[in-house]
Structure 1
Amino acid sequence: MAAPTNRAQLDVLVVGAGVVGLAIGRALALRGHAVIVAEAEAGIGMGVSSRNSEVIHAGMYYPAGSLRARHCVAGSALLYAFCERHGVPHRACGKLIVATSPAEVATIEAIHARGVTNGVPGLALLDAAEARRLETHLACVAALHSPRTGIVDSHALMLALQGAIEDSGGVLALRTPIEGLERRGAAWHARFGGAESGELVCDAVVVAAGLSSPSLIGAIEDYPRERVPRLVLAKGSYFACTARPAFERLIYPAPVEGGLGIHLTLDLAGRMRFGPDVEWVDRLDYAVDPGRGAAFYAAIRRYWPGLPDGSLTPDYAGIRPKVTGPGEPAADFGIDDGREHGLAGLVALSGIEGPGLTASLSLAEDIAERLEA
Structure 2
Amino acid sequence: MTDIETLIIGAGAVGLATARALALSGREVMVLERHSLIGSETSARNSEVIHAGIYYPTGSVKARLCVDGKHQLYEFCVDNGVGHERIGKLIVAAHDAQLDELRKIKQKAAENGVRDLVFVDRDELREREPALNCSGALWSPSTGIIDSHAFMLALQGGLEASGGQVVLNTNVTSIEAELSGGYRVHIETEDGETYTLTCRELIVSAGHGAPGLMQAFPEAMPPKAYLAKGNYFKLQGKAPFSTLIYPVPEPGGLGVHLTLDLQHQARFGPDVEWVEEFDYVVDPARGDRFYGAIRSYWPDLPDGSLVPDYSGIRPKIAGPGEPAADFRIEGPQSHGLHGLVALYGVESPGLTASLAIAEEVKVRLN
Residue equivalent to 1:208: 205
Shift in Å, 1:145: 0.7
* Counterpart residue number, 1:244: 238
Cα shift readout 1:218-248 (whole Å, capped 9, x = no counterpart): 2x1x3327x2111111111000111222111
Aligned pairs for 1:179-198 (under 5 A) are 179-184=173-178, 185-194=180-189, 195=191, 196-198=193-195
Matched, 1:300 2:297: no
Shift of 1:121: 4.1
Matched, 1:255 2:252: no
Structure 1 residue matching 2:326: 3-state secondary structure: coil
Structure 2 residue aligned with 1:75: 69
Of residues 290, 299, 321, the one that matches 1:327 is 321
Residue 31 of structure 2 is matched in structure 1 by: 37
Superposition pairs of residues 346-357 of structure 1, within 5 angstroms: 346-357=340-351
SS at 2:197 equivalent: strand
- The secondary structure found in structure 2 opposite 1:224 is helix
**What one-letter code is carried by the residue in structure 2 that aligns with 1:102?**
D
TM-score (norm 2): 0.96
Q: Secondary structure at the match of 1:193?
A: strand
Segment drifting more, 126-135 vs 263-272: 126-135
State whether structure 2 residue 269 is matched by structure 1 residue 275: yes
1:151 aligns to what?
145
Structure-1 separation of matches of 2:18 and 2:263: 30
- C-alpha distance in 1, partners of 2:87/2:270? 19
Range 316-325 or range 251-260, more displaced: 251-260
Secondary structure at 2:262's aligned position in 1?
Answer: coil
State the AA in 2 paired with 1:33. R
Q: Is the 8 A contact 1:243 1:308 kept in 2?
A: no
Cα distance in 2 for partners of 1:127, 1:14 equals 48
Structure 2 counterpart of 1:332, one-letter code: D
2:226 is aligned with 1:232: yes
User: Which residue pairs with 1:168 in the alignment?
Assistant: 162
SS in 1 for 2:150: helix
Question: Do the aligned partners of 2:30 and 2:164 also contact (CA within 8 Å) in 1?
Answer: yes
Pick closer, same or farther for the CA change 1:335–1:137 going to 2, 3 Å. same
Gaps of 5+ in 2: none
Matches of 1:169 and 1:175, distance apart in 2? 20
Residues 283 and 339 (structure 1 numbering): CA distance in 2 closer, same or farther, change over 3 Å?
same
Separation of aligned partners in 2, 1:325 and 1:132: 40
- C-alpha separation in 2, matches of 1:37 and 1:14: 5
Match in the other structure for 1:11:
5
The runs of at least 4 aligned residues of structure 1 exceeding 4 Å deviation read: none
Q: Which residue does the alignment assign to 1:3? A: none
Instruction: Please tell me the residue identity of whatever aligns with 1:164.
Output: G
CA contact (8 A) 2:20 2:155 kept: yes
Is there any run of 5+ residues in structure 1 with no aligned partner, and where? 1-9
- SS of 1:245's partner is coil
Does the 8 Å CA contact 2:84/2:147 hold for their aligned counterparts? yes
Aligned residues: 360
- Aligned residues of 2:330 and 2:364 also touching (Cα < 8 A): no
TM-score normalised by L of structure 1? 0.94
8 Å Cα contact 2:333/2:364 also seen in 1: no
| Residue 110 (str. 1) matches residue 107 (str. 2) | no
Give distance in 2, aligned partners of 1:214 and 1:23: 20
Instruction: Give the distance between the partners of 1:177 and 1:258, measured in 2 at CA.
Output: 33
The answer to whether 1:20 aligns with 2:17 is no
